[in-house]
Amino acid sequence: MIEVKPLPFEKSSVENFLSESTFNFHHDKHLVNYVNTTNALIANTPFENLSLVELVKKAEGPLFNNAAQVFNHNFYFDGLSKEKTQCYGKVKELLEKNFGTVDSFFAKFIEAATKNFGSGWTWLVQLPNGSLEIQNTQNANNPLTSNLKPLLTVDVWEHAYYLDYQNRRADYLKDFCQHINWNFVNANLDKNFS
């Protein structure tokens, strides 16, 4: 069965970005609902003992939608930092190699996420040849099903930012870029998502 992953910080601690109220809905209602629905769908089926990543790669239809939303939300919350951060380490080298500077990566990431029409996610992924790329996905879709390595994601479903930013998605994205948990992003470079 899939468990609800706790937030890696206090809900009230992310100053000048997302409010406790946003996390009350986003983590405690939306994510919990995706986890509960996933568990109801896998109960007494061969999917019951799969890991979350295996589930996402093998499921289809409503089970895929719910399991992928669990993965995506865990990945998004783990990628957030309650404090403002600076990019560092191996991922900084790779961003500079692929996008010129970290700031020009931010500009391209924000542009892609702003143009991601409707509900979806914007990702930084690593391709099999080692290079980095920005990808938009719709609804629950994510890079795991294309066998790409996810490094970072931002949730652009309106429920992610509407309480704090209303229609100002670009402002949410600008603040997101200042609150990235780069420890998490660097660690993902060495992870095997299979």
Residues of this chain that interact with Mn ion (CB under 5 A) are 155, 157, 160
The answer to whether 67 and 58 are in contact (CB under 8 A) is no
Shortest distance in whole angstroms from residue 134 CB to Mn ion? 19
Shortest distance in whole angstroms from residue 192 CB to Mn ion? 25
C-beta closer to Mn ion: residue 155 or 175: 155
C-beta closer to Mn ion: residue 43 or 170: 170
C-beta closer to Mn ion: residue 136 or 186: 136
Shortest distance in whole angstroms from residue 115 CB to Mn ion? 19
C-beta closer to Mn ion: residue 105 or 157: 157
Structural Rg of the chain based on CA atoms: 16
Shortest distance in whole angstroms from residue 167 CB to Mn ion? 17
Task: Report which residue's Cβ sits closest to Mn ion.
Answer: 155
Per-residue b/e over 143-164, b at no fewer than 16 CB within 10 Å? Answer: bbeeebbbbbbbbbbeebbebb
The sign of the torsion formed by the CA atoms of 101, 105, 106, 111 equals: positive
C-alpha dihedral over 159, 162, 163, 167, to 10 degrees? -170
Shortest distance in whole angstroms from residue 120 CB to Mn ion? 10
3-state SS class at 80 = strand
Cα–Cα distance between 154 and 142 in angstroms, integer? 11
Phi, psi angle pair for 135, to nearest 5° = -135, 140
C-beta closer to Mn ion: residue 36 or 186: 36
